[in-house]
Amino acid sequence: MNIKHIKNGSLYKDTSDNTIWRVRSKANTSSVWVTHHSNKPELVKASDLVQATQEECDAYLDSNNVELTSKAKVMKMLGSAKFHSEKK
């Protein structure tokens, strides 16, 4: 992915090893600082990243009992409510 399109705090999948990373900040013109369920940052090439799908994001957030932010909880509830209302 082009480093100009990467947003801090978003989840991306590393295509070289299929790891889901949370981008923390840009390190230079070709790499970003990322974390995976920890505060230990690692460097990853931006060109190896693709935006994580909704399913990959949900799996990442559900693993290790990651606490969702209030906004994420509301968005998840709204998505769930929308899904249930469409089923009727």
The domains found in the chain, sorted by start residue, are 3-87 (2.30.30)
Please report the pLDDT score of residue 43 as a whole number.
Answer: 96
Please report the pLDDT score of residue 62 as a whole number.
Answer: 84
Distance CA 26, CA 44 (A): 10
Residues in Cβ contact with 23 at an 8 Å cutoff, skipping those fewer than 6 apart = 6, 7, 8, 9, 10, 11, 12, 32, 33, 34, 49
Distance CA 26, CA 28 (A): 6
Distance CA 7, CA 14 (A): 15
Query: Which residues of the chain have a pLDDT value below 70?
Result: 64-88
Helices (H), the chain: 54-62, 70-87
Count Cβ atoms within 10 A of the Cβ of residue 26 and give its class: 0-12 exposed, 13-18 middle, 19 or more buried: middle
